[in-house]
Chains A and B, each alone.
Chain A
Amino acid sequence: MLHLRTLTRAERQGLVTGLLFTSPWIIGFLAFRVYPFFASLYYSFTFFPILESPKWVGLDNFRGLLDDSRFLTSLYNTTYFAVGAVPLATITGILLAMLLNSKVRGLSIFRTIYFLPSITPVVATAIVWLWMFDPLNGVVNYMLEWVGIDGPGWMGSPQWSKPALILMSLWGVGGAVVIYLASLQDVPRELIEAAELDGASAVQRIWNITLPMISPVILFNVITGLIGAFQYFTEVHVMTGGTGSPADSTLMMSIYLWQTAFQFFKIGYASAQAWVLFLIVIVFTTVLFRISGRLVYYGGK
Chain B
Amino acid sequence: MVGADRVRPYHWATDALPTATHPKESVLSAPTEFVAVPRPATQQPTTSGVGVTHAVASLIKYLLLVFFAGFFILPWVWMVSTSLKNPDELAVYPIIWIADPIRWDNYLSALRQADFLTYFFNTILVTFPSVLGAVLSNALVAYGFARVRWPGRDLLFSLVLATLILPGFVTFIPLYIIFRNLNWLNSYLPLIVPTWLASPFFVFLLRQFFMSLPEELADAARVDGASELRIFSQIILPLSRPALAVVALFQFIGSWNDYFGPLIYLNDKALYTISLGIANMRASYGFSNFAWIMAATCMSVLPIVVLFFFAQRTFIEGIALTGLKG
Contacts and interface: CB of A to CB of B under 8 A. Distances in A.
Interface of A: 1-2, 7, 11, 14-15, 17-22, 24-29, 31-33, 35-37, 39-40, 43, 92, 95-96, 99-100, 102, 104, 110-117, 119-132, 136-137, 139, 142, 170-171, 174-176, 178-183, 185-190, 193, 196, 216-217, 219-221, 224, 227, 230-231, 233-234, 237-238, 241, 254, 257-258, 261-262, 267, 270-271, 274-275, 277-278, 281, 285
B54 to A, nearest CB: 11
B305 A237 contact: no
Most interface-central of A14, A180, A221, A238 (chain B CB within 10 A): A238
Given A32-B175, A104-B62, A179-B320, 14 more contacts: A15-B152, A18-B150, A18-B153, A19-B144, A20-B144, A26-B156, A32-B171, A32-B197, A33-B166, A35-B174, A104-B61, A120-B305, A137-B95, A221-B323
Contacts of A230: 167
A126 B259 CA distance: 12
Given A36-B175, A179-B323, A128 B75 contact: yes
B294 A131 contact: yes
B198 A24 contact: yes
A238 B65 contact: no
A25 B197 contact: yes
B96 to A, nearest CB: 11
B94 interface: yes
A142 B94 contact: yes
Interface of B: 1, 3-5, 43, 61-62, 64-65, 68-69, 71-75, 78-79, 82, 90-95, 137, 140-141, 143-145, 148-153, 156, 159-160, 163, 165-178, 194, 196-198, 203, 228, 232, 253, 256-257, 259-260, 263-264, 274-276, 278-279, 282-283, 290, 293-294, 297, 300-301, 304-305, 308, 312, 315-316, 319-320, 322-324, 326
B151 A7 contact: yes
A139 B156 CA distance: 52
Contacts of B73: 113
A43 B3 CA distance: 58
A274 B169 contact: yes
B65 A39 contact: no
8 contacts: A122-B275, A127-B297, A128-B78, A128-B297, A130-B282, A132-B78, A137-B95, A254-B169
- Per DSSP, are chain A's interface residues mostly helix, strand or loop, or mixed? helix
A115 B72 CA distance: 9
Most interface-central of A17, A22, A110 (chain B CB within 10 A): A22
Contacts of B153: 18
A32 B177 CA distance: 11
Given A122-B275, A188-B1, A127 B173 contact: no
Contacts of B65: 96, 99-100, 104, 110
Contact of B197 (A28, A186, A241): A28
A21 B323 contact: no
Nearest to B77: A139
Given A102-B61, A125-B75, A271-B173, A116 B308 contact: yes
Given A27-B197, A121-B300, A128-B78, A113 B141 contact: no
Contacts of B283: 241
A99 B64 contact: yes
Contacts of A126: 279
Nearest to B156: A22
A183 B260 contact: no
Nearest to A4: B151
